[in-house]
Amino acid sequence: MHSVEGETPKLETPYVMQLAQDLARHSGARQAQIAKNIANADTPGYHARDLKDFSETYQQKKSETEMRLTRSGHIVRSGLAGEPRTFEIGGEAAPNGNDVSLAEQMSLSTDARSKHNLALTVYKSALDVLRTSIGRGR
């Protein structure tokens, strides 16, 4: 961090923590999407949706094809701003057109949960490192 005269020093979050935050946010959103799928397991014509894997999406956050959003009410392709893009999982549909598989959703949610745990653990230990560096110990 280089300081410029007259400018208030800015606290930069370490990259690891930034990444952990993004992963936590992603798996939280994923969990909400899975909750949506399971809630609609009996809704006729509902198609199960899922978020793209974090490893595919974390780098293309500011792609150039994305429309610019300057306030939260702006509408992007998939809905309101800030809502992640989802895709249909697909699969065999029941006679009423619903293709939610509870077993599959359960395993997805376990996955989301463990990713979330991972993110929080990484964040915590990064925080520990920061604390140690300012001499506070654990």
Q: Please give the residues from 41 up to 100 whose contact with other proteins meets the rule CB under 8 A.
A: 41-44, 46, 79-80, 83-84
Q: Does 130 bind other proteins (CB under 8 A)?
A: no
3 state DSSP class of 75: strand
Closest CA relative to residue 57, chosen from 80, 78, 36: 78
Q: Does 102 bind other proteins (CB under 8 A)?
A: yes
Q: Does 32 bind other proteins (CB under 8 A)?
A: yes
Element (H, E) at 55: helix 54-57
- Interface pick for other proteins out of 36, 76, 101, 125 (rule CB under 8 A): 36
- The dihedral region occupied by 18, where left means phi > 0, alpha psi between -120 and 50, and beta the remainder, is alpha
- The window from 2-10, 30-38, 60-68, 87-95 that contacts other proteins (CB under 8 A) reads 30-38
